[in-house]
């Protein structure tokens, strides 16, 4: 579904004393439909910059390529990207800021459908009700505002909102890190069932190697802007090759000596 080849991003700063910093270096990977690729790395390693490059919210350095469903979109203009925006979306770690606090849940759910002029009001309301049920929420929530529902419920609304646009790729940027552990598990389960039902590719971004190893079939480890290791979750967890990955798995084993890995 998504292939990226040799993506890099250099930030330039300073006026007289010009400086440059390469936040993403020559990153390549692919994600098939219905597949979850985990992207693991510490804060500042370039994960968010990479997701902004993939969504073309930030221009990449010349030379890299982004291919979506077989079409090279690297040189796409903002206008050409417009129809693709609904197909490639990002879910953030702060569910509170994902919804407009002054809008009811119903309005938040109808808004993307109206913006993309996908269907009329009646059909849109029926779709919203269908998706609300799918994410396990009661229709009573529709008249409430984001601060009147729990963090887990907000994240479910955010997932339903993304689904209104029938995405092909969802970038999940630490989607559960602000939630309690039990709610985290429920949201992860929901994401997995939604993926199976709609064949969505996920790029699951997290600093939590354990969570990623459970949720993803493959893991890419990012360090200082580079993918230093990439393989099946089992291979990365059991036989980490790069010293940085070994450091991560050792830390994980120290926290959970009974993990058996």
Binding site for ligand ATP (CB under 6 A): 11, 13, 21, 23, 41, 43-49
Q: Toward ligand ATP, which CB reaches closer, 49 or 108?
A: 49
Least distance from ligand ATP to the Cβ atom of residue 31, Å: 18
Question: What does the alpha-carbon distance between residue 157 and residue 133 come to, in Å, rounded to a whole number?
Answer: 11
Question: What does the alpha-carbon distance between residue 37 and residue 233 come to, in Å, rounded to a whole number?
Answer: 9
Least distance from ligand ATP to the Cβ atom of residue 202, Å: 17
Q: Do residues 21 and 49 lie in contact, with contact meaning Cβ atoms separated by under 8 Å?
A: no
Instruction: Please tell me whether residue 201 adopts helix, strand or coil conformation.
Output: strand
Q: Which residues pair with 221 in a beta bridge?
A: 40, 229
Q: Toward ligand ATP, which CB reaches closer, 125 or 208?
A: 208
Q: Helix, strand, coil % (nearest 5) of the chain?
A: 45, 25, 30
Angle between helices 151-163 and 181-198 (to 10 degrees): 10
Question: What does the alpha-carbon distance between residue 203 and residue 36 come to, in Å, rounded to a whole number?
Answer: 6
Least distance from ligand ATP to the Cβ atom of residue 90, Å: 12
Q: Which residues pair with 131 in a beta bridge?
A: none
Least distance from ligand ATP to the Cβ atom of residue 162, Å: 20
Q: Toward ligand ATP, which CB reaches closer, 144 or 242?
A: 242
Q: Toward ligand ATP, which CB reaches closer, 24 or 99?
A: 24
Q: Write out the H or E segment, with its range, that includes residue 68.
A: strand 65-68
Instruction: Please tell me whether residue 199 adopts helix, strand or coil conformation.
Output: coil
Q: Toward ligand ATP, which CB reaches closer, 10 or 71?
A: 10
Least distance from ligand ATP to the Cβ atom of residue 177, Å: 10
């Amino acid at each position: 579904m998504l292939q990226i080849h040799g993506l890099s991003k250099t930030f330039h700063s300073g006026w007289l004393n010009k400086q440059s910093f390469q936040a993403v270096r020559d990153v390549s990977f692919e994600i098939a439909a219905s597949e979850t690729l985990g992207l693991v790395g510490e804060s500042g390693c370039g994960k968010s910059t990479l997701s902004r490059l993939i969504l073309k919210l930030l221009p990449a350095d010349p030379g890299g390529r982004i291919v979506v469903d077989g079409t090279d979109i690297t040189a796409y203009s903002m206008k050409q990207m417009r129809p693709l925006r609904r197909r490639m979306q990002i879910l953030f770690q702060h569910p509170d800021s994902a919804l407009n606090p002054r809008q009811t849940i119903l309005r938040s759910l109808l808004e993307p459908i109206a913006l993309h002029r996908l269907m009329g009001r009646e059909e849109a309301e029926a779709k919203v009700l269908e998706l609300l049920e799918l994410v396990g929420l009661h229709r009573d929530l529709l008249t409430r505002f984001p601060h009147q529902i729990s963090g887990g419920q907000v994240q479910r609304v955010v997932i339903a909102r993304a689904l209104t646009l029938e995405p092909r790729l969802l970038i999940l940027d630490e989607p559960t890190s602000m939630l309690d552990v039990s709610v985290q598990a429920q949201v992860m389960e929901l994401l997995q069932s939604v993926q199976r039902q709609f064949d969505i590719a996920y790029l699951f971004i997290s600093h939590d190697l354990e969570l990623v190893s459970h949720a993803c079939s493959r893991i890419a480890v990012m360090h200082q802007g580079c993918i230093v290791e990439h393989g099946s979750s089992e291979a990365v967890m059991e036989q980490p090759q790069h010293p940085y990955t070994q450091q991560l798995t050792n830390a994980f084993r120290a926290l959970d000596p009974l993990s058996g890995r």
